[in-house]
Amino acid sequence: MRKTITRIKAIVKNNKVTLSWYKNNTLFNDASTDEFDNFRIYRKEEDFVFGEDYEEFFLNNDGTDAKLIFQGSLEASNNRKYMFEDDSVAIGLTYSYFIQTKTSCRMGPVPVRVRDPEVWWSYEKMMSRLRNLCEQSNGLARLSVCGRTVKGRDIPCLEVGSGSKTLGFVGLIHGGESGPELIIPAISTLLDKSPGLFQDIRIVAIPAVNIDAREEMAQGTPWYIRTNHQGVDLNRNFPAQWETIEYGYGLDSSDTSAVTYRGSQPASAPETQAVMSVFESNPPDIVFSFHWLASICGLPAGASISAKDDAEYALKCKNIIKSFAKGFSPDLDFAEHWFAFFCTAGSLSSWLYDFGKIPGFDLEQVDNQDAKISRVDQTDRALILDYQERHTNALKEVMIELAKT
Ligand SMILES: [Zn+2]
């Protein structure tokens, strides 16, 4: 059936869904049409399961079981664009919307998931938190731009302190994972409570690399997004062991349709280049890269697989993770499985190892209750607060140990 409208979109902001759409190409110039005099908008709550369901979940859905939530006329801007705001939505739920004009079918589905903006920070919120941190740092913190995403968003880089040892932080190499919500509060709290730590240690942090994917998810894309806007897995795109094709997750990193696609050539993605430029000009002593899912991560920490036979490097890495774990899980004795070599060819950790034997870690999550919650995108404010505190304490322990070396 011919559709009467086009470019239907749903965007979440401040716990409201805004739908927008346009009259189609042929009808918008037809002054005599009454096709758009009476809109009907339908909504269906979906039993979408994050991490199991993806875009296909919403296919073959004609909306016949969706509920009518609005009927009436709407004003078109520029004689073509319509908008409708739905504030009767709930955090943690996934919806499909359908729009019907006078003679059309129910057009959709337009899927959207409403996420807590305190758990999934938007780009705007992250930038505002970074600016506040700098303003309250008594000149200790500086903000710069280290590159641009594929969609042209500035990638911020935060530098704190001027010590001779450098600690690097990288967040959101993968859009649906973790970074700004943990890195920024940890640095901010320590600046406030233990500013003396920054005399010996300088922090260089890129809290969000794959900002484009994260912004899509913060604005309501229901499914997990791993790659950048070019479809490149940034943690396979670094120039490290490029001759090795990775087959993890049943995928092939040289396959353009795989979510682990490494890109057309080493460091082809602008986001990868941004991270490299920061660490090439500020060679770090240690780097933590934040992964796992839905804004939290912790242990295990993974280093490059290619370093697994380097005993000296392994010992150095393990000691760093012991300090990290002392702050992160103070009630538990160090467990051997909290440190492992699992970072692949093309990962940031592998590049850091090749670049200068720099201890670089991907932070993931052991299979505990927190993992079960975050894996299905049910991370709540209490869990985020718990992980912010754990990462603050972990950072403090790592800074104290690094200052001694
Ligand atoms: Zn990841």
pLDDT digits over 317-342, tens only?
999 999 999 999 999 999 999 999 99
Q: Per-residue pLDDT for 295 more than 80?
A: yes
Measured in Å, residue 160 CA sits from the centre of ligand 1 at 25
pLDDT tier at 70, thresholds 50, 70, 90: very high
Q: Do 149 and 16 share a structural domain?
A: no
Beta-carbon neighbour count of residue 87 at 10 Å? 9
Residue 1, pLDDT above cutoff 80: no
Q: How remote is the CA of residue 259 from the centroid of ligand 1, in Å?
A: 11
Distance 17 CA to ligand 1 centre (A): 28
Same domain, 361 and 317: yes
Distance from the alpha carbon of residue 56 to the mean position of ligand 1, in angstroms: 22
Cα 149 to Cα 153: distance, rounded to the nearest angstrom:
5
Residue 305 near residue 344, CB atoms below 8 Å: yes
| Separation of CA 172 and ligand 1 centre (Å) | 8
**166, 301: one domain:** yes
Give 57 Cα–ligand 1 centroid separation in angstroms: 23
Residue 67 CA, ligand 1 centroid: distance in Å = 37
- Residue 240 CA to ligand 1 center (angstroms) comes to 17
- Please compute, for residue 329, the number of CA atoms within 13 A of its CA located in the half-sphere on the CB side: 14
pLDDT band at 402 (very low <50, low <70, confident <90, very high): very high
Distance, in Å, from the CA atom of 174 to the CA atom of 386, rounded to the nearest integer, reads 22
Q: What secondary structure does DSSP assign to 59-123, as a single string? A: TT---TTPEEEEEE--PPBTTTEEEEEE----TT-EEEEEEE-SS---EEEEEEE---TTTS--H
How many angstroms is it from 356 CA to the middle of ligand 1? 22
Q: State in Å: Cα 400 to ligand 1 middle.
A: 27
Percent of the chain having pLDDT more than 70? Answer: 100
Q: Is the pLDDT of residue 65 over 90?
A: yes
What pLDDT does residue 389 have? 98
CA of 70 to the centre of ligand 1 (A): 40
**Segment 124-165, tens digit of pLDDT:** 999 999 999 999 999 999 999 999 999 999 999 999 998 999
For residue 293, what is the DSSP state? B
- Does a structural domain hold residue 106? yes
Asked whether residue 391 is domain-assigned, the answer is yes
Q: Decide if pLDDT at 104 tops 80.
A: yes
Closest CA to 108 of 39, 53, 59, 38: 59
Number of domains observed in the structure of the chain: 2
Nearest in space to 121 (alpha carbons), one of 393, 382, 381, 301? 381
For residues 384 and 369, is the Cβ–Cβ distance under 8 A?
Answer: no
Q: What is the CA(180)–ligand 1 centre distance, in A? A: 14
Shared domain for 100 and 239, answered yes or no, is: no
Predicted pLDDT at 168:
98
Mean pLDDT of 25-34: 92
Query: 200 C-alpha to center of ligand 1: Å?
Result: 30
Q: Measured in angstroms, how far is the CA atom of residue 291 from the centroid of ligand 1?
A: 4
| Domain-located, residue 163 | yes
On whether both 34 and 94 belong to a single domain, the answer is yes
Percent of the chain residues topping a pLDDT of 90: 97
For residue 376, the CA-to-ligand 1 centroid distance in Å is 15
Same domain, 175 and 243: yes
Same domain, 192 and 301: yes
The SS3 of residue 286 is strand
- What CATH number corresponds to the domain at position 99? 2.60.40.10
> Residue 82, exposed/middle/buried by CB under 10 A (0-12, 13-18, 19+)?
buried
- Asked whether residue 358 falls in the same domain as residue 226, the answer is yes
Q: Which of 290, 310, 320, 289 is nearest to 354 (CA)?
A: 310
* Cα 65 to Cα 44, 62, 110, 144, distances in angstroms: 7, 8, 14, 50
Distance 297 CA to ligand 1 centre (A): 10
Of 84, 113, 142, the domain-final residue:
113
- Within a domain: residue 86? yes
Residue 2 has pLDDT above 90, yes or no: no
Q: Which of 141, 205, 203 is nearest to 171 (CA)?
A: 205
d(CA 93, CA 46): 8
Q: Which two tokens stand for residue 202?
A: 């300088």
How much distance in Å is there from the Cα of 289 to the middle of ligand 1?
A: 9
Tell which of 63, 80, 113 closes a domain.
Answer: 113
Using an 8 Å Cβ cutoff, are 23 and 36 in contact?
Answer: yes
- Mean pLDDT over residues 294-308, rounded? 97
Q: Which domain holds residue 241?
A: 123-404
Residue 122 alpha carbon to ligand 1 centre in Å: 19
- The rounded distance, in Å, linking the Cα atoms of 290 and 302 is 11
Q: Report, as an integer, the average pLDDT of 50-59.
A: 96
- Give the end of a domain, one of 113, 148, 180: 113
pLDDT, the chain, mean: 97
Looking at the fold, whether 274 and 355 belong to one and the same domain comes out as yes
Q: How far is the CA of 384 from the centre of ligand 1 (A)?
A: 18
Domain-located, residue 145: yes
Distance 11 CA to ligand 1 centre (A): 25
135 falls within a domain: yes
- The CATH number linked to 400 is 3.40.630.10
Span 33-46, average pLDDT = 97
User: How do residues 89-100 score in pLDDT, each as one tens digit?
Assistant: 999 999 999 999
118 lies in some domain = no
177 Cα to the center of ligand 1, angstroms: 6
Distance 290 CA to ligand 1 centre (A): 7
66 and 7 Cβ atoms separated by less than 8 Å? no
Cα-to-centroid distance, 307 and ligand 1 (Å): 19
Give the amino acid at 152. Answer: G
Based on the fold, state whether residues 266 and 216 are members of the same structural domain.
Answer: yes
CB within 8 A of 21, min separation 6: which ones? 5, 6, 7, 8, 9, 81, 82, 99
Determine, yes or no, domain membership for 300: yes
Task: Verify that 326 and 375 share a domain, yes or no.
Answer: yes
Q: How far is the CA of 215 from the centre of ligand 1 (A)?
A: 16
Crossing angle for the helix pair 211-218 and 123-135, to the nearest 10 degrees: 110
Distance 380 CA to ligand 1 centre (A): 20
Same domain, 65 and 161: no
Of the candidates 405, 172, 138, the one whose C-alpha atom is nearest the C-alpha of residue 274 is 172
- Band of residue 56 on the pLDDT scale cut at 50, 70, 90: very high
Q: How far is the CA of 349 from the centre of ligand 1 (A)?
A: 12
Calpha distance 387→181 (Å, rounded): 9
Query: Which two tokens mark 115?
Result: 């996420």
Residue 329 CA, ligand 1 centroid: distance in Å: 21
The three-state DSSP-derived secondary structure of 353-394 is: HHHHCCCEEEECCCCCHHHHHHHCCCCCHHHHHHHHHHHHHH
Ligand 1 centre from 32 Cα, in Å? 54
Q: Name the residue among 72, 9, 15 with its Cα closest to residue 40.
A: 72
